[in-house]
A and B are shown apart, each in its own frame.
Chain A
Amino acid sequence: MLKNKLSRYFVLLGICTFLAIFFFVVQQSYNNLMKASNEAKNSPLIRSVSPNLNIEVLDEIEKRTETNL
């Protein structure tokens, strides 16, 4: 009877170990997958450059008179 009980626990322990290791591997794999893309998103290389320059201000400066030295 005791042997029977122990063998049932043995099966339960096997299933739990299997599930724990399975989820551990899945989680590690997912982390590896996401880590690289997160690093890429935060990379300083992809910091955007704004090409907008207010050129009109130059016309405004031109309109002003320059006092001759």
Chain B
Amino acid sequence: MKFNLDLVKISSRVTPLLMYLEKKREDQKIARYVEIGSTFFLISFFILFAIKPTFLTISSLLGDIKSKEILTKQLKSKINDVIVAQDIFSQAQERYALVESSLPINPRFFQANSQIINVAAKNTIALAGADYSIKDSNYFSTSINTITSYQSAVGFISEILQNRRLIDLNGFSFSINEDIPNQININLPLKIYFWKDDAKK
């Protein structure tokens, strides 16, 4: 009986101690959690205010280096292309007069008119005159309406198409002249081209 009483006494003394220890352990656990959480927050803070600017600067610099490498590579090939283009252009420039006679930088009505008159004269075609109309394009147009023989008309067209000055004949019409025998009415709409410098600079 006495033994039982001692047990109850001991138990009543030990229980608060156990509870105290349990609470202590719980507090230690919470402290550990708070410590871990705080560590993560501190690392985040450190990343945001110390590592982030450094990383951004490093990545910008690396990007700049990479872009410069790309630019250098591309520009080297562009320089080579420009050198090749210069060589080819100098070849073309030597023959500039040829290009100019074919496609002049301004309409040069006089040259075109003289050439048409000369070709017509060669083929015994009498031209009364020609009207030129120029629009906002790279050519001006005229129309030749006259009476001539079939051979002369064919010869005229052939020479006009073989002329160095670029002249385009877009369709023509022949009709028999009922008043004069062996003569035909011809209608030739011509387009005479020139180089219109409207390229964007």
On A, residues with C-beta under 8 Å from B are 3-4, 7-8, 10-11, 13-15, 17-18, 21-22, 25, 28-30, 32-37, 39-41, 43, 45-46, 48-53, 55, 58, 61-62, 64-69
The residue among A10, A28, A45, A62 with the most chain B CB atoms within 10 A of its own CB is: A10
Question: A4, A40, A48: which has the most chain B beta carbons within 10 Å?
Answer: A40
Interface check B105, CB cutoff 8 A: no
B85 touches A25 (CB 8 A): no
Q: Is the CB of B56 within 8 A of A29?
A: yes
CA distance A52 to B89 in the complex (A): 10
B172: CB under 8 A from chain A? no
Contact call B111/A61, Cβ cutoff below 8 A: no
Using A48-B78, A53-B88, A58-B98 as known contacts, say yes or no to A7 and B34 having CB atoms under 8 A apart. Answer: yes
Residues of chain B with a CB closer than 8 A to A21's CB: 44, 47-48, 52
Known A-B contacts A32-B59, A35-B63, A61-B102; A40 and B70 likewise in contact (beta carbons under 8 Å): yes
**Which of B's residues lie within 8 Å of A, judged by CB?**
26, 29-30, 33-34, 36-41, 43-44, 47-48, 51-52, 55-56, 58-60, 62-64, 66-68, 70-71, 74-75, 77-78, 81-82, 84-85, 88-89, 91-92, 95, 98-99, 101-102, 111, 114-115, 118-119, 122, 159, 162-165
Contact across chains for B40 and A14 when beta carbons are under 8 A apart: yes
Q: List 27 A-B contacts (CB under 8 A).
A: A7-B30, A10-B34, A11-B36, A14-B38, A17-B40, A21-B52, A28-B52, A28-B56, A29-B55, A33-B63, A36-B60, A39-B67, A43-B71, A45-B75, A49-B81, A50-B81, A50-B85, A52-B88, A58-B95, A61-B98, A61-B99, A62-B95, A64-B164, A66-B101, A66-B165, A69-B111, A69-B114
Contact between A25 and B47 (Cβ–Cβ < 8 Å)?
Answer: yes
Given A32-B60, A50-B81, A40-B71 contact (CB < 8 Å): yes
Min Cβ gap A1→B in Å is 9
- Cα A67 to Cα B82 with chains together (Å): 37
Q: Given contacts A25-B52, A33-B66, A49-B78, is CB(A65)–CB(B88) below 8 Å?
A: no
16 more CB-based (< 8 A) A-B contacts, given A3-B30, A33-B66, A48-B74: A4-B26, A7-B34, A11-B36, A25-B52, A28-B56, A36-B66, A46-B71, A48-B78, A55-B88, A58-B92, A58-B98, A61-B102, A61-B164, A65-B159, A65-B162, A65-B164
